[in-house]
Structures are given as structure tokens and as C-alpha cells.
Amino acid sequence: MSSTRLSSPRHILRVLVLSLAVCGTAQAAAPTPFAVQAVTITADGATRRPIAPGIYEAAYSPATQALYVASAEATTGTQGGVIYKLDPETLQTLGITHTNDENFGLAMDPSGKTLYITNSLNAGVSALDTETGRIKAQTTFTERSKDGSAYGPRKIIYDESQKALYVGGVGDPGVIWQVDAATLQVKAVIQNAGKWVTGLLLDSDAHRLYAANGGGEVLVIDTQENRILERWTPGDGKEWLLLNLALDKSRHRLYVTDHSKQKTVAVFDTRTGKMTNRLDTAGDSLDIQFDAQRDQLYISHREAGTFSIVDADTQKTVRTYDLPPMPNSVLISPNHKTVYVTIKTPPNKDYSASGAGSIARIALP
């Protein structure tokens, strides 16, 4: 269940900041010029610029032809977050939307007119109008984990066939919400999704949703019935904490990262649910994307401070970029010529960020 409200465009909210309150309204900043930010070119040829403490995921809007970056503005004594609108070529700031809540995961509708945001610390989801830069709707999930704590919405994904969102809830046991994309009302709740729902991937043609969790499981979910059909595990007797997923449909391969336990990428056969390989040469792996057009995998490695390109046929690393200190999320541009990587800084003892996070733009060879 959820409580949903529309925001008032008359409210002007100031920027707040935290690390990982109540969902409120938000308003885009006034149309004033933004200072030009310093951009550096790395030794590997990537373009990079700092943005703000506590940045997380990025998304691209075909409607505004702009890049959007979620930030929790993670500095001590500040609450709330910001959505940054960037030029995808120069990485310069085009707009800023201040929000009451810290921002984490992003999903764009196909038209690019609505950006959906998970507010992990406040158990909510927001919808931003990309043309006005205003938050136009919000919802707060009311379910509680078995210890009584609120779930933390992490990953969010848009399902065009149902005009709905799937949102993974971090808790024990985890849940997955199906939310109406227009109203943000909860349509269904998938219960008992394992310890911490960490990653989601949609195969809309097959009506399947894959979900990874911290208990080392991959859930296979029927999106027509919102029912868990299968639970896959690596089956090697080792402890896994699975995170993000990528699907190579033609080879029936599902890739799932493990950043902290096995520090590798598990490869599952989607026909059998069995793990068939590990990409150990990739090292600790956080986010992963499959580019079918180029037949490549793109992987961020937080501990190593690197980003790698992997040949999807041979499953061998073909190029590595140094992007210290902590590469985070990965986004492929619509024309498949560019990859964007968000980069975090190590947390302080109070979970605030030790410095400004940044974004890198990599022109694919």
C-alpha cells in the first residue's frame, strides 16, 4: 500500500542533504545561468567533472536531450537532495531541481517526459516532469519489514507494456512493488522476495522480471501475474550478495554482479537457471549493462576504482578505464556511442560523503 500526493508548484524548497522525513514537494530552481564547471580528460580519454556529494544513478531524456543525475547531497547537517540536469556532451549543468528527499535510483519513461526517482531513506518514489523540472507526484510505501522498519526503495524500472513501475524494497524479507506510472498508486506487492531486493531487470517480451537479492538469489517473476516462478542460486555452496543484472537474450545469459562477497560476475543460463560461469577477471563488480548493438558488457568496479569493457562473446575484458575512487552506476547513451559512469567518494564515519561525486563520459572506441 502507499499514500500518494501531488506536489504544489507554489512551494519553493531549499536544498537538503544526507547519506543513504517525510516526502514533500519540490520546485525547480529559477532559470539563472550556471557557472561553468571544470572538466578534465583522464589518461584513458574519459571526460570527467565533479557534481555533488552523494550522487547515485543517471538517466537520459530524449524529450529534453539531457542527462539527469540523482544526488543525496550527502554532507553533514544537510537533508534532502537534488536532481541535476546536464548537457550530455559537455557535462555542464543545465538545470537543478531541489527535493525534500534524498534521491537514489532513476528510471525514465520512453518519451523522456517523466523521470521516476526512488527516495530510499524515506520509503518513497517521486515523479519529475522533465520539461518543467518540477516534482509532480510522490508516493510513500507503508509496508514494514519484520523488524518494524520501513523498506528502502532502491532500484526502479519502467514497464512500457503495463505503463507501470517495478520498485525493489530493501528489507528482510524484501518486497517488490508494482506502481501505476501515471498515479504512483500501488497496483500489486510481491512478497517474500528474499533478503534485500538489490537489483531489477525487465524482459518485457517474455513477461519476466528478474530480481537479485542479498541472500544470493535471482528471482524469476511472471509480470502478468506478479508471481515468483523460480528462485535461482549459484549452487556452489558459497556466500553471495547479488546486486545488479544484465541480460544477453540471444545467448540466454543473465549476468549478475557481486561486489562484496565473491567479487565477481555470475553468469546464469536463463533456460536452466544454472550458473555456468564466473567473470573472475573482472574483479569486484557493482553495476553492469549489456550493449546488444556493440555486443559488449560495461562493468563498474568500486573497490578497484575502474570501469571495464568486456567482449560478450568471449567474456574477456578488452579495455579498462581508471575512474577512482568509487565508480558506481553505468548508463548507455541511446545512440550506443557513449557510456556515462557516476563516481562516488568514500563515506565518512557519519555516512556523509568525503568529497564531491563526479560523472565520466566515455566515447566508445
Residue 14 pLDDT greater than 80, yes or no = no
How far is Cα 257 from Cα 240, in angstroms, rounded to an integer? 10
Tell me the one-letter amino acid at 48.
R
CA-based end-to-end distance of the chain: 47
> Tens digit of pLDDT for each residue in 299-314?
999 999 999 999 999 9
Dist CA 135 CA 117 (whole Å)? 10
Q: Which residues pair with 316 in a beta bridge?
A: 311
Q: Is the pLDDT of residue 4 over 90?
A: no
Q: What's the grid cell of residue 235?
A: 549452487
Q: What percent of the residues of the chain are helix, what percent strand, and what percent coil, each to the nearest 5?
A: 5, 50, 45
Residue type, 13: L
This model's pTM is above 0.95? no
**Which pLDDT score, from 0 to 100, does residue 11 have?**
30
Q: How confident is the model at residue 19 (pLDDT cuts 50, 70, 90)?
A: very low
The model's pLDDT over 210-265, given as tens digits with 9 standing for 90+, comes to 999 999 999 999 999 999 999 999 999 999 999 999 999 999 999 999 999 999 99
Coil, strand or helix at 148: coil
- As a whole-number percent, the residues of the chain with pLDDT over 70 amount to 91
Element counts in the chain: helices (H) and strands (E): 0, 31
Mean pLDDT across 28-38: 63
Sorting pLDDT into bands at 50, 70 and 90, what band is 29?
very low
Nearest residue to 288 (alpha-carbon basis) of 268, 26, 164, 124: 268
The pLDDT, as a whole number, for residue 33 is 62
Cell output for 141:
510505501
